[in-house]
Structure 1
């Protein structure tokens, strides 16, 4: 951002964790942070994908390392944070980006397995990682945490019951953090992406009630964003250019949320 917009990001040399960094928004954010001179720890379940992002980051002149594992597992969460702190001397920025979609299921169609997995990955995992990161940020006198929420965090017509509930939960977590730790120098914000070109799968059941009901509303999304457009918003919120912004939920949706 600083090289293209003139904004002072203050990210040079900072230690940053990005989850879901093997592809899509996470990969784009990792590369953008590296362009700003940050040192990035990249977490993803897909070893091949996240290691490819590390290579791309290093080829571009950045400093990166990978941690592979399921972020709904406390042991993996602890390993991600310890790896970042040990390698880079602390932790300044956490980007809770990793997530999965549901099947667009309406509540009555949502089985326990779908509900529990979506909530575990989309809401519990960011909670666990943020809880593990906070002591290091508090000891350093501050830090920035950015969540990837969703258009589904702003309305009830963009996804199924499980995903919608999980992303509304992410918004609540963001705002609670912003209030609870504002005096300690912790900033917490979230982006709310609209339709975005990523490899996230939507295994919708075509004849079920949920997809049939949601379809006309999702059609209002309009332009499909590039992952890099979402990444630019993440890096801005994480940076010193947003130093007085906390508790904000930023739609990055080409105006979908304004309809």
Structure 2
């Protein structure tokens, strides 16, 4: 009988870049990647906020550095990705997590502005970061890309068409690049969080959250950032070598429930 080979669940010696890593799912992802052994580039639009997370990781005894990154700025993405790869001696993991809340536009002019902002941050930033990272990922032993989308890319909420379109685009981008990059051993996967307790949902009253979760999710609750981050981590491990093009809801059963 052929023995079962050992499974590599360590990111030791690898470098990872997480966008939008100063809070919520991004922060939890950065911490878990570091605990798995990666040197983590913590990036966010505000350097001070990113630095706080990097300091938190270092205080635990792991490796991290902070960079300011506005993902709506194409030139900044390229610059930061290359700086990270130079600083850490390469780049093996890219997690496109940065996002914004869905906003309801009330008139035509506002809608156009909201459309452009959602597409820039939630979709264009993904492909720009991936393209900037590709030369470095191609040199990595276990290259991994994870895009964070949303269950709004699988279903829809009235009034959020710009947000839903951008998230659906991220899903399509994931699948296309998984096919395109697979021959080089680069895996590209997508996570679709459902209702998660983060800063973006902090303004929703607790009773409204409880009602929504009870009506819509199988688990009858909002998720925690670390519950999403754990799935992200699993896709970034060397052992996740045969998973690509996957779109994984982390939603407490929201998409599975009919009533």
TM-score by length of 1: 0.87
| Corresponding residue of 1:220 | 216
| Corresponding residue of 2:240 | 242
| Corresponding residue of 1:11 | 11
| Corresponding residue of 2:75 | 75
Cα 1:102/1:157, change in 2 over 3 Å:
closer
In the alignment, the residues of structure 1 paired with residue 111 and residue 214 of structure 2 have an alpha-carbon distance, to the nearest angstrom, of: 23
In the alignment, the residues of structure 1 paired with residue 159 and residue 142 of structure 2 have an alpha-carbon distance, to the nearest angstrom, of: 34
CA contact (8 A) 1:101 1:202 kept: no
| Corresponding residue of 1:211 | none
In the alignment, the residues of structure 1 paired with residue 215 and residue 103 of structure 2 have an alpha-carbon distance, to the nearest angstrom, of: 17
In the alignment, the residues of structure 1 paired with residue 231 and residue 84 of structure 2 have an alpha-carbon distance, to the nearest angstrom, of: 23
In the alignment, the residues of structure 2 paired with residue 171 and residue 138 of structure 1 have an alpha-carbon distance, to the nearest angstrom, of: 22
1:64-105 per-position Cα deviation (integer Å, ceiling 9, x unaligned):
111103112122111221121111111100000001122245
1:105-162 per-position Cα deviation (integer Å, ceiling 9, x unaligned):
5897961111111110000111111110012112446510001110111112387101
| Corresponding residue of 1:208 | none
| Corresponding residue of 1:122 | 122
Give 1:218 shift.
10
Give yes or no for the alignment of 1:29 onto 2:29.
yes
In the alignment, the residues of structure 2 paired with residue 238 and residue 115 of structure 1 have an alpha-carbon distance, to the nearest angstrom, of: 31
TM-score by length of 2: 0.87
Gaps of 5+ in 2: 1-5, 205-210
In the alignment, the residues of structure 2 paired with residue 54 and residue 110 of structure 1 have an alpha-carbon distance, to the nearest angstrom, of: 36
In the alignment, the residues of structure 2 paired with residue 26 and residue 225 of structure 1 have an alpha-carbon distance, to the nearest angstrom, of: 14
| Corresponding residue of 1:41 | 41
CA contact (8 A) 1:41 1:80 kept: no
Cα 1:245/1:153, change in 2 over 3 Å:
same
Give 1:56 shift.
0.2
Gaps of 5+ in 1: 1-5, 205-214
Cα 1:164/1:235, change in 2 over 3 Å:
same
In the alignment, the residues of structure 2 paired with residue 200 and residue 117 of structure 1 have an alpha-carbon distance, to the nearest angstrom, of: 16
Secondary structure of 1:65's partner?
Answer: strand
In the alignment, the residues of structure 2 paired with residue 51 and residue 185 of structure 1 have an alpha-carbon distance, to the nearest angstrom, of: 32
CA contact (8 A) 2:92 2:141 kept: no
CA contact (8 A) 1:189 1:246 kept: yes
**Counterparts of 1:72-221 in structure 2 under 5 Å?**
72-105=72-105, 111-140=111-140, 143-157=143-157, 160-200=160-200, 220-221=216-217
